[in-house]
Structure 1
Amino acid sequence: MPVEMYSFIHKAYKLIADASNCPTIKLVLDNFCQSGQLVNSLKSKVFFSKRVPTSTYATLSDLLDIPTTPNPGRVTLIKSVMSSLPYYYMQCVALLESTCKQLDRLNKDFLWGSTMNKRKIHLLNWNTVTKSIKMGGLGIKKSSTTNEALLAKLNWCLLKDKDQLWAHIFRAKYMSRNARLDSRRYNSSHIFKSVFKG
């Protein structure tokens, strides 16, 4: 896409202030699509300034057929900082479901700008937010899903990677002679039980 056209579209989105401008923007985008370039509405997002009333978000989004998104800086912070902080623990310990829900709640509140004293409206369902970008979400991962994936990776390494010292020790201690993992042993460590869940 030419840079000039992209800049125009980017600026046009920023100029939308009321519903009367939406048909014009859609017409411009439709004309642009006739050039052979396509606008994927699932990958597109509409951003609103703080001065646009919350009640108009859904209306404008529906008219443009493009979903809204919260502050993109907050999404980036959640993906790069807040979601990665518990990774160290998640990759070797199965977190409690209540802990995962609390982590997700912190991410939700930060995303929408809620605080202990002031609750804000969550414009999108958390299940929608945690979908991949291709599916119309924001690509933020649920804590429980991330925990399961990291433990599954560790489980895979335990079974397939013969050279790692930790895997060798775990196999010697917890694998029976028929080469199956035995998580029912009463003296299994918490870490091994977590890896077995993966």
Structure 2
Amino acid sequence: MSILTDYCLWTGQRVNRTKSAVLFSKRTPTSTKSRLAKLLGCCKVNELEYFGLKFSMRRLKRLDFAPLVQKARDHTLGWGIRHLSMAGRVTLINSVLLPSAVFQMTHTIIPKIVLNDIEKLSRSFLWDKDPSHRGLHYASWEDVARPRCKGGLGFHASVKWIGALWARIAWNIIGSPLGLLQRCLSLMVWRSLAPREGSREVGR
């Protein structure tokens, strides 16, 4: 409670408890959940959404990202395929469709099948002349995803971004050993800021 109180004093903001919720780990005892929720004045939830991100203590599935795929599909229908040149389609794919999942990929683990769904929408948007009729694909996705200097259209393969985004998170942890995320992970996994080499916790 003191953290929230100090935050409100420093920023001049107030916590809207009617719109706030608290998410607990599955290992938290029921009595502790009820006591903390009552103390905070917030309701208990099993899942919550924040800025379009779903937070849950379970592994997110394909169905959880259905709104993301639907939003990409709505984009393709709203743009109107017939009235766009090939260059216009390429620009929209590179600037809107493929990057649409990057924000969520930075914060959550997205199943590869979801990224494949978005790439499938991008392929259809690129080649199909009508949303209801499949057009002739003149080149494979692997070819058009190559850099322009190698004869491709410069599309970014979303699946290949996963490793780079996770590596950035790891680099931030290494570069800021006293950061908030590092300290939280230390308490949750390592139990100390300097885990012993070869310990079981480090392997996890």
Q: TM-score, normalised by structure 1?
A: 0.51
Report the CA distance shift for 1:166/1:136 in structure 2 as closer, same or farther (over 3 A): same
Gaps of 5+ in 1: 1-49, 51-69, 185-198
Which amino acid is 1:98 matched to? I
- Which residue, 140, 157, 178 being the options, matches 2:155? 140
- Which residue, 196, 199, 204 being the options, matches 1:178? 196
Task: Please name the residue that 1:90 is paired with.
Answer: 105
| Percent of residue pairs bearing the same amino acid type | 24
Report the CA distance shift for 1:173/1:122 in structure 2 as closer, same or farther (over 3 A): same
Matches within 5 A, 1:158-197: 158-175=173-190, 177-178=195-196, 182=202, 184=204
Which structure carries more relative contact order (alpha carbon 8 Å, separation 6+)? 1
Task: Please name the residue that 1:131 is paired with.
Answer: 146
The root-mean-square deviation of aligned C-alpha atoms, in Å, is 2.5
Choose 1 or 2 for highest CA Rg: 1
Distance in 1 separating the partners of 2:119 and 2:190: 35
Gaps of 5+ in 2: 1-81
Instruction: Tell me how far 1:74 sits from its aligned partner.
Output: 0.9
Task: Please name the residue that 2:115 is paired with.
Answer: 100
Which amino acid is 2:122 matched to? N
Comparing both structures, which one devotes a greater share of its residues to strand? 2
Instruction: Tell me how far 1:110 sits from its aligned partner.
Output: 1.2
Moved more, 106-115 or 84-93: 106-115
Moved more, 100-109 or 110-119: 110-119
Q: Per the alignment, in what secondary structure is the counterpart of residue 123 of structure 1?
A: coil
Moved more, 155-164 or 90-99: 155-164
Which amino acid is 1:88 matched to? F
Q: TM-score, normalised by structure 2?
A: 0.49
Deviations 1:81-132 (A, max 9, x none): 1122111111122221211211110111111135551101111110011111
Would you say the 8 A contact 1:112–1:120 is kept in 2?
A: yes
Would you say the 8 A contact 1:131–1:139 is kept in 2?
A: yes
For this pair of structures, how many residues does the alignment match?
116
